[in-house]
Structure 1
């Protein structure tokens, strides 16, 4: 019988994980199964309303408690492997649940890593209990994936604060966020050295949603505008000129988690395809009996196993403090998202016309998986980054 969990117990049994990670996976999987009716409801709900409801639920149920380290120690792990396992299981269960969890974690992490004590006390308790919804704003229409090309300006004001002017594009949670982590250009250094991170509450005068966007997989999504937006000096996250470091550190840590979510989507598609082919009558037997179908299912399993291992390795490297984890995070993100796209597409093919019907599991997954090849660094851009890590001295001796 196919798996009914959002993770692979055999992968989880490898030395990459500890008993605490195995407990986490079991607990969040049980929790996801207990809210079956809710997942049906949120799919029919306005994305903004669903987003608010899910962040609050995740906070109420304790799944965001690691976002406020002062409440520790926690019974469950709060490292990168835990984040990946949570995303994998939530994505297997419901796309919007994974989205709510991941963006809240994405917005809180730079505060955890770079915030001062006052910033942590002001924002992290609310982000952990779901009463403060976060967003991370780095992308711009003109900059795309090039963080160093950010153009939103932050000019020093006479009181020591800053005035932000410009726009941010394609921001997750833009339409429901209470707090935005903004990367802006302060000019403290040339090019990439001139960026600074700011914590900007959405009720700050001058901040507004300039456009709500309808993505192929519905969720809170939009463009933001900053017009003569004045923030105090205390809004600076980290140090002036440290914005690029903060942005890259965050993206490198979260790319592998995007890969984990992709594995969750792919595993759900694989399980659905296996059930369908075993139950579907075809050519005097079952669809599963056809050799081409078995070959397709075998390829799905190969991709799933490879993607799971790459994500596990990247998260393990990050948690053990390996400075080269970014390369493994990029590799895991590229392979897992590309492989998941192939797995979902193959599953649609195995379902045939039934897999194209609006609202069917394969139709939903087909829309949901596509964005992951772009989030936190498009596959093509990351391939360039991976290539730049190659040791050019290898293979120079010839044969």
Structure 2
């Protein structure tokens, strides 16, 4: 990621331009950055918007098989952006109709005949689906195509700069100067590229929070029995960490990066996220057949037989979080550029989309005032970004705290924790209002 250098006393080329459109730079053409650009072109109809990305223009992103879980709120945003029909037309999207949460350890004080579980269904929440599951490339390709089409239709104010890494920026008296081949000044810079925990530089006080969970997430795909219910996302708490199965469209399974599985017969598929302790890893030394045997002891009986597993790839898990979303009054971080979370809740991209929604709401309110003069523009933008940060922090902090607590709890040896967690699951299933609140937070965030 680029490094920020600040020079508050530097003269700004923006200051002598009394009235002109807002200039917005977006660093990163991933799903967060492209979603922001596509929505900004309508929300800020006079703004000049430029997206920067280091990847080549001819790089085919469609084959990126990393799995994303989208909440209903994110699906609705993509529908409003007019890209959801193209995503659905790919045939590579599976709806989440039910979420099933359970734990492997027995709840010794549980009075019921069966161990406690939480089931949240789209039917009981009166929505068409709770969310959807798709590959990273399936999402980014239509977003990129839509943005390139928008740039061709309005080249005077919209631009896509592939092959142009942003090496840094300098904060001016009014605006930000970006170092990307040539120096160019913008009113607001939004950093929307972040990567995963293992790719990010260390954050040191006072810049942010950092914690290594000492866990590895093994990711890949599995083929399930044809009798396994369709559209169900399974979350399973185990002594080593959480494991999840996310529904995928039927077809042959493959590993990360398209690695072929030894068994390529088509069938009911699910994406696997299997989190285990890094220091006592039961997965790393096993071959595919041994992993399949072990997997069949992990999940709830409702899953049924897991018939095949693809090659798996491991990723270190940790928390990286900037304390502030706004730096120097004009540089904003969203999505993984602001925080990387444990995948236990599968909410990383959904959190970014809520950032996008709130940021554009704040900038729209400031837009008319910002066009009056350079001085008024700077004050209006800084006020808008302060409001954005203030409104986003509760949702962000609540989700970080929840995922952090769940992730850390697997490292605590006290057996009573498994019982406490099981009792909590049972109580949540029994308490309708609490379950509805949880379901709403999954679909739309903590608002």
Same fold at TM > 0.5: no
Compare relative contact order (CA 8 Å, sep 6+) and give the higher one, 1 or 2. Answer: 2
More strand by share: 2
Of the two, which has the highest radius of gyration? 2
